[in-house]
Amino acid sequence: MSTIRNIVILTGAGVSAESGIDTFRDGGGLWEQHRVEDVATPEAFARDPELVQRFYDMRREAIQTKQPNAAHHALARLDSEWSGNLLIVTQNVDDLHERAGAKRVLHMHGEHLNAWCTACDVRSRWTGPLIDGPACPACGERALRPDVVWFGEIPYRMEEIFAALQEADLFVSIGTSGAVYPAAGFVRNARDLGVATLELNLEPSQGTLWFDEARHGPASEVVPAWVDEMLS
């Protein structure tokens, strides 16, 4: 491990599963109760803004009742103790990484606890509902939408992510199915750059064959064990 200085970590819904937040594609997962195209697309928002706002109001409220689990805490410990570069790129829109104390976090799919004004483009921290069309704190317009990247929209801060991968010695993918691009392609970008790759997931992901190494089990077990190894 001594040759490893710079780490990029990708997390997905599996890292928050044991905190009680539904994943998307596991049995009974979020998308099994809702058709993606009905709630997580710009077209859905244009067609039925109330349905979409209600869906995200429910999610925004739900995540505030959840707590970080041992995987979040282990990653926060690694973040605070790792002297090299470290970036946690999360697909998750919950704030459990931050609530566990992680600092170097990048939300490529946005955040439930932000509202994005479609009039002035300002993003404001938002913990309440949006269904009743509240005024934007910056411009006063009643034009706030969830600050979540929907299907068909461009994930945030991709240049920063690719720059971090260029510098990385290790890419670790945690709790993601490898079903959704561009995140699902990061392991191949890493391999093309000669970066070592590790998958920590409950079960083999769709991209598991691209990883140099894969360890399977619940994140609350496999992530703390890996962090202990990295910090020993």
* Per-residue tokens: 99: 């609530």
Segment interacting with ligand APR, rule: CB under 6 A, options 17-25, 53-61, 79-87, 122-130 = 17-25
Question: Site for ligand APR (CB under 6 A): which residue of 26, 38, 57, 212?
Answer: 26
Using CB under 6 A, which residues numbered 92 to 111 contact ligand APR?
109
Annotated binding residue at 136? yes
Are 105 and 130 in contact by the 8 Å Cβ rule? The answer is no
Residue closer to ligand APR by CB (options 212, 221) is 221
Q: What is the DSSP string of 68-127?
A: --HHHHHHHHHHHH--S-EEEEE---S-HHHHTT--SEEETTEEEEEEEETTT--EEE--
Residue closer to ligand APR by CB (options 27, 194) is 27
Whole-number Å distance between alpha carbons of 181 and 110 = 15
Check residue 25 for interaction with ligand APR (CB under 6 A): yes
- Residue 112: active-site member: no
Residue closer to ligand APR by CB (options 108, 136) is 108
Are 147 and 100 in contact by the 8 Å Cβ rule? The answer is no
Beta strand 170-174 with 196-201: parallel, antiparallel or unpaired? parallel
- Per CB under 6 A, residues contacting ligand APR are 12-14, 17-18, 23-26, 29, 91, 109, 175-177, 179-180, 201-203, 205, 218-219
